[in-house]
Amino acid sequence: MSDLENKDFQNDSKKQVNTHLSNKKWVRNALVVMLGDIVATYFCFFMALLLRFDFSFASIEDKYITWALYLIPIWCIIIVTVFYFTRLYHSIWSFVSIDEALQVLRAYCLIAPLMVLSSLILRFRMPISFYMIGIVGCVICHIGNRFAYRILRKLGGAVSSNATGNGSSVERVMIIGAGDSGSVLIKELKNSTHTNMVPVCVIDDNENKIGRSLFGVPVVGGRNDIISKAAEYNIDTIIFAIPTASGSNRKEILNIAKETGCKLRTIPGVYQLATGEVSISRVRNVELIDLLGRDPITVDNEAVFNMIKGKTILVTGGGGSIGSELCRQIASHEPKQLIIFDIYENNAYEIQQDLLRKYRNKNLNLVTLIGSVRNTHRITSVMMEYKPDIVFHAAAHKHVPLMEESPNEAIKNNVMGTYKTAKAAAAAGVKKFVLISTDKAVNPTNIMGATKRICEMIIQMMERETPNTSYVAVRFGNVLGSNGSVIPLFKKQIAEGGPVTVTHKDINRFFMTIPEAVSLILQASYYAKGGEIFVLDMGEPVKIDDMARNLIKLSGLRPDIDIKIEYTGLRPGEKLYEEKLMAEEGMQMTDNKLIFIGKPIEMDDEWFKTKLEELDRESRADDKNIKEIVQEIVPTYKIGSN
């Protein structure tokens, strides 16, 4: 037998043993409860007999004692049999509830008549009060018998909590929110044997709830009391349990909670309530997105679904942060075929395997191709072979400082790669072409932003020249957690003990999540008629310094004390303040109030083509003056400005 086969055999043996032990434990528990029912039956009916004769044993006639000794064993058999067939011995005793109590009452609707009938058949005429008192006592005792385990365990847990309340083995929890979600979490924490978390207090802004209790846990105050009550109750973990809270409300409360130094956890969102999935296993750590104070971007999923379903979709740069999320969301909308195109084989392989695992039973038609958008023959041959209906062009160089040092590569990949891909799409009869752009294209101060502005110009030129293909661009700000963004860098620096490096204390940026960015892209592709530049109102910008400090606090550390923050100065081409996307003139609103259409770019298409040819020629020659040519095309681009 091979090592692998031997390991499988051992695992199977362990499973069989565990199953056998589990079955033995269930039978043992059922027998214990059954024995308790029998003892309770004898006790209740003998007490009923004593009560009938004023607790004077000498006053009880011998015939009643004799008849009781005949009847009670028969009644025990009746009770055990009825309880068994009504599955009252099959409950999980850790979770016995009112349902079991009601089932006992229903069972006695059959048991009581059988008791009376059996005594009539045997002609044992017991006092009527004997039946009434005995049956009522049995109902109470049999229900109590089923709740005994929970009561004893709760008492044991309380003793344990009090004994080790300040020890390391118990995690003292504050719940924020005394609503449905908070109550479910408290019940689970109290009943669970798989966690050492103990709820000790609740916070809620509803004054009618303050001073009352939720399943024995006191509601001690509102949001302004979080810090003082966390210290008073020696809190280790705070769980935010208001999934219906708005983004601004969530931000305000969590910003207070993070100052306590406690671990912060939260329920993901309102859908948990709708699907009944509120549980401690669903609670996650608070992330930076929870502190941004903006409600998630929502899209018309049904319309997007109908647009993608049954279509052939090509995603260039499909292995990147945005591209891979695009592929995930597109795959969930039942495309006819999804084509991933990327130059970096490791990223392409990773998203390919992720999708194959997730959709292995859903017949996803997935094609993964390696190639560069800079290669005219490669991108053209791919377009002509697969004839995609929609192209999402996410392939690009995006690192601002790196592109400042290698501007010709930014031109080759971003500008010429977009131009070649757009022309190949036109030749293949693509219906929609969606360019992934950036807010750095607005009055750019770096070559990366300037190349993206030129890409937008290409899109609008191609729209005018190719009536059968709709060309659009989608422009948004920084994406939380994407490759090369500040968040992964900050987390790595914190894990290494610091320092955390921020370029400037006042630098700020607009932020959104990767799923939000992709939702916007898909929504824009649905709205697209041709030539639009879609932009997103992402709320107020966020200071990078605040983000760094919040991440340190969320890690349970103190900024400038446990982790130092260093200011390194603005990098080449880096802006201090990103301009609001809404600042452009001629903005048009779409059906989604957070998505707008930017003003068309006015230009001479023939002159622009000449400049593209010049860019192509000079970038391949690694011209050191390439930025000057870019400035001629994008007058708002200021070379070397910050």
Q: Catalytic positions, please?
A: 440
Is it true that the peptide bond before 113 is cis, omega within 30 degrees of 0?
no
Answer whether 501's CB lies under 8 Å from 415's CB.
no
Query: Alpha helices of 164-238 — where are they, by DSSP H?
Result: 180-191, 226-232
- The answer to whether the beta carbons of residues 122 and 70 sit under 8 Å apart is yes
User: What secondary structure does DSSP assign to 38-60, as a single string?
Assistant: HHHHHHHHHHHHHHHTTT-GGGS
Six-digit token string for 479: 């994406």
φ and ψ of 512, to 5 deg: -150, 165
Report how far apart, in Å, the C-alpha atoms of 520 and of each of 296, 540, 593 are.
Answer: 11, 18, 12
- DSSP-based three-state secondary structure for 596: strand
Rounded CA-CA distance 56/49 in Å is: 10
Contact between 374 and 417 (Cβ < 8 Å): yes
Radius of gyration of the chain (CA): 35
Question: What's the CA gap between 391 and 39, in Å, rounded?
Answer: 75
CB 44 within 8 A of CB 138: yes
* Intra-chain end-to-end CA distance of the chain, in Å: 69
Whole-Å CA distances, 625 to 187, 410, 621 = 69, 14, 11
Q: What Cα–Cα distance (Å) separates residue 243 from each residue in 271, 276, 298?
A: 8, 12, 16
Dihedral of the CA atoms 227, 231, 236, 242 (nearest 10)?
-30
> What element of type H or E holds 476?
strand 470-476
Query: Which structure tokens are listed for 411?
Result: 């031109």
CA distances from 332 to 308, 309, 336, 532 (A): 10, 9, 11, 26
**Three-state secondary structure along 359-410?**
CCCCCCCEEEEECCCCCHHHHHHHHHHHCCCEEEECCCCCCHHHHHHCHHHH
User: Helix 605-620 crosses helix 447-465 at what angle (to 10 degrees)?
Assistant: 130
What stretches of 283-389 adopt beta strand conformation (E)? 284-285, 312-316, 337-342, 366-370
- State whether residue 178 is helix, strand or coil: coil
The token pair at 4 is 């692998």
**Can the peptide bond before residue 467 be classed as cis, meaning omega within 30 degrees of 0?**
no
